[in-house]
Amino acid sequence: MPSFTLNGIEVPFKEGETIIQAADRAGIFIPRFCYHPALEIEGNCRMCLVDIEGGPPKLFSACSTQPKDGWIVHSNNEKVRKARAGILEFILINHPLDCPICDQAGECDLQDYAYLYGLSKSRYKDDKEKKPKHKILGPTIIHDAERCVLCSRCIRFLRDVVGTGELGLFERGAKTYVDIYPGKQIDNPYSGNLVDLCPVGALTSRDFRFKARAWDLDRCESVCPDCSTGCNIYIDSIGKKVYNLQYQVYRIRARANTEVNGYFICDAGRYDYKWLNGDERLWASIVSCGDHRDKIRTAAAIEQVAEALKKVVDQHGPSSVAGIGNARSTNEENLLLKKLIQDHIKSPHLDFVGAHGDVSEMEDNMLVRKDKNPNSKGCQNIGMAPGEEGRDLDGILDDADSGDIKALVVLSVGYKMPEDVRSRIARALEKVEVGVLIDCMDTELAHKADWTLASVAYAETHGTYTNYAGRVQRLQPTMPLGGEARPGWELLRDLLNGMGAVVDYPSAWAVTREMLENCPAYEGLTLQNIGPQGAIKTVGRQEEEKETQEEQSGEKS
Amino acid sequence: MDFSGEAEKEFQLILERSENKQGALMMTLHLAQREYGCISPEVEEMIADRLELTLAYVHGVVTFYTFFHTESVGKYLLQFCSTLPCALRGSEELFDHCSKKLGIKAGETTQDGKFTLVKVECLGSCGTSPVVQVNEDYHEEMNIEKLDKLLDSLE
Amino acid sequence: MEPVLTKNISSTGPVGIDAYNDGKGYEALKKVLDGMSRAEVIDTVKACGLRGRGGAGFSAGMKWSFIPSDYPGPRYLACNADESEPGTFKDRQIIEHDPHMILEGMSVASYAIGAKKAYIYIRGELAYGAKCLRKAVDEAYGKGMLGKNIMGKDFDLDVAIVRGGAAYVCGEETALLSSIEGKRGYPKLRPPFPANPGGGLHAEPTIINNVETLSCVPHIINRGADWFKSIGPEKSPGPKIFGVSGHVKKPGIYELPMGTPLKEIIYDHAGGMMRDDKKLKAVIPGGSSCPVLTAEEAESVNMDFDSLAEIGSMLGSGGVIVMDETVCMVDALYNLIRFYAHESCGQCTPCREGVAWMKKIIARMVHCEAEEDEIDMLLDIADNIAGNTICPLGDAAVFPVRAFVKKFRSEFEDHTRHKKCRVKS
């Protein structure tokens, strides 16, 4: 494989790649503002200048120059460092001293580069250019043209990726600025990505404005629960000790996954986190007695539920119990519910709320899919379906109504359930003798269930979702929560044990492993190979892995 | 608002001679400025529509090229070249004289809407400097006397 | 030297197609279509030593040969009529008096590079020039010199005229292409270069030549490469239109052989100093981007590409700006840097921010409000711009700054250290 040396390190490259792309793959960082792997190369910021030994005396932009085999390239020699410091100086002469009030502080490329590569004193004595500041561009974005480094990422994104082109570059020379056409708005379903893309604080989020400092946020890697695409996300939160606040989620950002969502996520998923902080969250389990509702220690609740279920089975037989899983819950929760109902209690009546057929149909031409559940495919793959002579969802709800089903265990995720289904389940929970709900929010269902076991939401648990294509992707919890609300899989494990099943799952991963080992849809997948980008069963998977290894070592085996 | 008659015919010719709609933008803007006097938001909207471009894009091109004005100008746009070759032969004094005579500063228009006064960069006629361009016409080898005569002659 | 390019410069109005070339019409194009292969045309133009008259001085024939001959897609020719370099006013003469010479040159060039479509990009302010070209193009179509099967041969060519919008940067060849594409006049990244796939107009191979360069082509074909080569120095031959402006008695156009001494141009042709009692102080030899010459340098150099390069300046477009002793060099530099700051397209960081910064510093120097250490700071800023930009406009702004400060430093020191201008007081 052809290669060039960068700062003395051999870097292999593919045909058509530029220096910066090969360097990124090799893990050698060359600073940049305008280059972005998802956007057309522009080479206007001049931050990525490198020195090519033996070539013309001027420096070349690494983002736009394709290397040749045997080149000797420097990105950190004196010539490059002086040029880079010069470029930074040029950017900073008109840059406002906004760091103390700028949301980007702490995650700003300009700050980082100025610290790493810049001069510490300013030689500029003249007035700075004045441009529009704190200008609202639409429902999600607020703009500060003085902070802008004119990298044009936003322009290219809106023009080429989304196709709406709301932003333009106006005027010429040092007076150039980015802005929206007078009277128009940025109002497309992917606008939030502009905040992620903008390397400085020129385009910032109205939702996040002034709420928290980047360095106070804890970050976890998760998966968006709002449709079957399963875009990868970061969830940024702050725990109890900072700002004297309870745990709060502050924002969701896009996480790159070239196999699923590229570098972007949709606005619907991005801004759907406020419910995690809402007042309706269940932080304690609840037991109902008639109209009376009481908080109850979760462990005690689980004991009582186990007792009640055992009694129903003894009196009326296994087929009087049914379970309803949920395509918004994790694989692990659904799997343990299935284990409880079908393997332990031996009732065939099991189904799930969610999409039962093909879930790959797109709703737009970018990322959003029609199935608004993150784990329909997961439920399908592990067999959340009626056993022999078992009743499906409609059947279960009918039987609950008629009295044939006397105990019901339901997985739910707050309000995220279609209205008609929810009201039927509510009625069912009310009707049956033993109505058990596992939920993270205190909704109508929790008012009708006899016991509501408080579970945490997707953002606070380990687990996996399986997206429309069959890719298993893992969730990380934002922070360990040691309260009465617990991960759903733990509640079900303890319930299984409480009913005499004797199962040993020291962590969610133990459940995941069992799923991977037993499910034909996940053949070849192991805990080891579900990395940050998830894993999917593919034909010829072995060959793919071998190729990746070859690339990384730069030689054929 | 849309092109019509002769202007529409010329617009069709422009489209014929361009590789694609976007490539017709420069000549369309020239046509529009001649037809409507300036590239106002209505004109931008019409052009964006006819050439299937976004408004932000069209506005970006309009504001890049200083030849296009987004607001209307006086009946006579007096453009004084001020780059070095003209400056060496008295363009500064010529401009000051005109400014005083009309009572307006650079960028301003006379009350009666007759004259707009601007300074421009090299008009490419350095051998006959100082040069003043009035609307489309170059007036070369200007001096104060000739300038006065010119201004008086403009109705 | 009998006029070649400026033969019809005194005509009232442009010479029409019937009178063009003394009534002989597109003689060179006929010769080419009758019996020269594309390679032969390119070789002829290479052999004659024609170097671009837009400013860069690159061998025209070599440029034409850069288009891969086996490229299956379309190719384009663009004629750069954006003439906006301060001090330059030669192309306008050909456009307004002898436009068919340009068209014939474009036709031969298009044939040589295999282009079926050619553009003329003319600066927007030249409304009259655009009309002259429009008339000439229509006449050419009318007489079958443009369109399909020209002169009955297997050669098609369409010519379109695009008017610019008062942006000097669009004289840079790739910014010119961006403008034709209907974009903001941003230069393109190189590589790929315009003659290569991906680098030209609509990403197809394109050759861009200056008006004067293309105007030489019919004469080269008609009279032969040897004739052209015999005029002026061997490595920089041919007739050249010089433009003289500034403090001379007879500013204007002078077509002379390449290599004519600058002293002769100023004193013999342009009539010498405008004011007899004011001596020569400085000369910009080829348009404002060329490093300024002191009077001694100006009086001893020949006007060809290599002689000027040898003394650290450039022939550029051959636009000679003459300054006498009444000129304050700080003022003059401010005038030029203001021009470059106004014309910077703003695409890349060093030119956009750096040139504007240099303008602000020099503005303060003009008013004696700058410190002396800012002179060297100015040069350091210039060093951070030069070579780091996408296009040569950044360099074009830097060259005058470096040359003025280097050769007239005492005036900058007067303005900063002594806070006074010796020239104007």
SS (H, E, C) A167-218: EEEECCHHHCEEEECCCCCCCCCCCCHHHHHCCCCCEEECCCCCCCCHHHCE
A168/B54 touch (CB, cutoff 8 Å), yes or no: yes
Number of domains in chain A: 3
A175/C346 touch (CB, cutoff 8 Å), yes or no: yes
Q: Is residue A314 assigned to a domain?
A: yes
* Beta strand ranges found along A273-422 (DSSP E): 285-289, 292-296, 321-326, 350-353, 407-411
Same domain flag for A383 and A335: yes
Minimum-distance CB partner of A64 among C189, C355, C388: C189
List CB contacts (< 8 A) between B56 and chain A: 165-168, 180-181, 184
> How confident is the model at residue C1, as a pLDDT?
83
> How confident is the model at residue C224, as a pLDDT?
96
Q: Is C347 helix (H, G, I), strand (E, B) or coil?
A: coil
Q: How many CB atoms lie within 10 A of CB B13?
A: 14
Same domain flag for A69 and A101: no
> How confident is the model at residue A555, as a pLDDT?
42
List CB contacts (< 8 A) between B66 and chain A: 172
B partners (3+ CB pairs within 8 A) are A, C
Mutate to test the interface with A, among B64, B68, B121 (most CBs of A within 10 A): B64
Residue in the block written with tokens 């005036």: C411
**Contact status of C393 with chain A (Cβ, < 8 Å):** no
> How confident is the model at residue A546, as a pLDDT?
60
> How confident is the model at residue A556, as a pLDDT?
41
- Per-residue burial over C244-278, b = 16 or more CB atoms within 10 Å of its CB, e = otherwise: bbbbbeebbbbbbbbbbbbbebbbebbebbbeeee
Same domain flag for A405 and A490: yes
Q: How far apart are CA A345 and CA A317, in angstroms?
A: 9
Residue A4 has pLDDT above 80, yes or no: yes
The interface residues of chain C toward chain B in range 194-253, judged by CB-CB distance below 8 A, are 201-202, 243-247, 251-253
Q: How far apart are CA A213 and CA A197, in angstroms?
A: 18
Q: Nearest 5°: phi and psi at A228?
A: -80, 0
Same domain flag for A29 and A100: no
Using pLDDT thresholds of 50, 70 and 90, give the confidence band for residue A391: very high
Q: How far apart are CA A199 and CA A109, in angstroms?
A: 5
Domain harbouring A14, CATH code? 3.10.20.740
Q: How far apart are CA A374 and CA A468, in angstroms?
A: 8
Q: Is residue A258 assigned to a domain?
A: no
- What's chain C's average pLDDT? 96
A partners (3+ CB pairs within 8 A) are B, C
Instruction: Work out whether strand B132-134 and strand B137-139 pair parallel, antiparallel, or are unpaired.
Output: antiparallel
Nearest residue on chain A to C340, alpha-carbon basis? A173
Q: Outline where A210-297 has alpha helix (H).
A: 267-270
- H/E stretch holding A232 reads strand A232-238
Q: How far apart are CA A141 and CA A143, in angstroms?
A: 7
Q: A188 CA to chain B: closest CA distance, Å?
A: 14
For residue B151, which amino acid is it? L
Domains assigned to chain C? 27-229 (3.40.50.11540), 239-324 (3.10.20.600), 329-416 (1.20.1440.230)
> How confident is the model at residue A414, as a pLDDT?
84
Using pLDDT thresholds of 50, 70 and 90, give the confidence band for residue A56: confident
- Chain B, chain C: beta-carbon pairs less than 8 Å apart: 145
A86/C384 touch (CB, cutoff 8 Å), yes or no: yes
Q: Is residue A531 assigned to a domain?
A: no
What pTM, to 2 d.p., does this model score? 0.94
Mutate to test the interface with C, among A172, A177, A178 (most CBs of C within 10 A): A172
> How confident is the model at residue C322, as a pLDDT?
98
Instruction: Give ∠ CA A160-A162-A165 in degrees, rounded to 5.
Output: 70
Residue A368 DSSP symbol: -
Please enumerate in sequence order all residues whose Cβ is within 8 A of that of A67, keeping only pairs 6 or more positions apart, or say none. A2, A4, A13, A17, A18, A19, A22, A73
Q: Nearest 5°: phi and psi at A323?
A: -130, 140
Residue A551 has pLDDT above 90, yes or no: no
Q: A156 CA to chain B: closest CA distance, Å?
A: 12
Question: In A, what residues contact C, Cβ < 8 A?
Answer: 41-47, 49, 57-59, 61, 64-66, 82-83, 86-87, 89-91, 93-94, 123-127, 129, 149-150, 169, 171-176
Q: Which tens digit of pLDDT belongs to each residue from A291-333?
A: 789 999 999 999 999 999 999 999 999 999 999 999 999 999 9
Please enumerate in sequence order all residues whose Cβ is within 8 A of that of C25, keeping only pairs 6 or more positions apart, or say none. C17, C18, C143, C145
List CB contacts (< 8 A) between B41 and chain A: 182-183
Q: How far apart are CA C425 and CA C415, in angstroms?
A: 12
Same domain flag for A489 and A518: yes
Same domain flag for A97 and A30: no
Domain harbouring A118, CATH code? 3.30.70.20
**Token code pair at residue C227:** 């004739």
Q: Is residue A471 assigned to a domain?
A: yes
Same domain flag for A48 and A180: no
Q: Nearest 5°: phi and psi at C140?
A: -65, -45
Same domain flag for A366 and A477: yes
> How confident is the model at residue A468, as a pLDDT?
96
C339/B121 touch (CB, cutoff 8 Å), yes or no: yes
Same domain flag for A376 and A479: yes
Q: How far apart are CA A152 and CA A167, in angstroms?
A: 10
Using pLDDT thresholds of 50, 70 and 90, give the confidence band for residue C48: very high
Please enumerate in sequence order all residues whose Cβ is within 8 A of that of A546, keeping only pairs 6 or more positions apart, or say none. A557
CB A50 within 8 A of CB A62: yes
C181/B23 touch (CB, cutoff 8 Å), yes or no: yes
The interface residues of chain B toward chain A in range 42-101, judged by CB-CB distance below 8 A, are 54-57, 59-60, 63-64, 66
Residue in the block written with tokens 């060959």: A543
Same domain flag for A50 and A125: no
**Average pLDDT score over residue span A481-491:** 89
> How confident is the model at residue A557, as a pLDDT?
38
List CB contacts (< 8 A) between C166 and chain B: 65-67, 120-121
Domain housing A201: 92-205
**Average pLDDT score over residue span C26-49:** 96
Minimum-distance CB partner of A165 among B57, B63, B64: B57
B56/A166 touch (CB, cutoff 8 Å), yes or no: yes
Q: Which tens digit of pLDDT belongs to each residue from C384-421?
A: 999 999 999 999 999 999 999 999 999 999 999 999 99
Q: A172 CA to chain C: closest CA distance, Å?
A: 5
Q: Is residue A262 assigned to a domain?
A: no
Q: Is residue A260 assigned to a domain?
A: no
B124/C245 touch (CB, cutoff 8 Å), yes or no: no
Same domain flag for A447 and A481: yes
Q: How far apart are CA C372 and CA C414, in angstroms?
A: 9
Q: Which of A47, A76, A105 is the last residue of a domain?
A: A76
> Which of C170, C169, C194 lies closest to C180 in space, CA to CA?
C170
Determine the topology of domain B76-153 in CATH: Glutaredoxin (3.40.30)
Nearest residue on chain A to B59, alpha-carbon basis? A170
ipTM over 0.90: yes
Minimum-distance CB partner of A174 among C346, C361, C390: C346
Q: Which tens digit of pLDDT belongs to each residue from C233-274?
A: 999 999 999 999 999 999 999 999 999 999 999 999 999 999
Mutate to test the interface with B, among C335, C338, C362 (most CBs of B within 10 A): C335
B63/A180 touch (CB, cutoff 8 Å), yes or no: no
**Average pLDDT score over residue span C96-103:** 97
Same domain flag for A69 and A148: no
Mutate to test the interface with C, among A94, A117, A125, A160 (most CBs of C within 10 A): A125
Percent of chain A whose pLDDT exceeds 70: 95
Kindly list the domain boundaries of chain B, sorted by start residue. Answer: 6-64, 76-153
Q: Nearest 5°: phi and psi at C113?
A: -95, 0
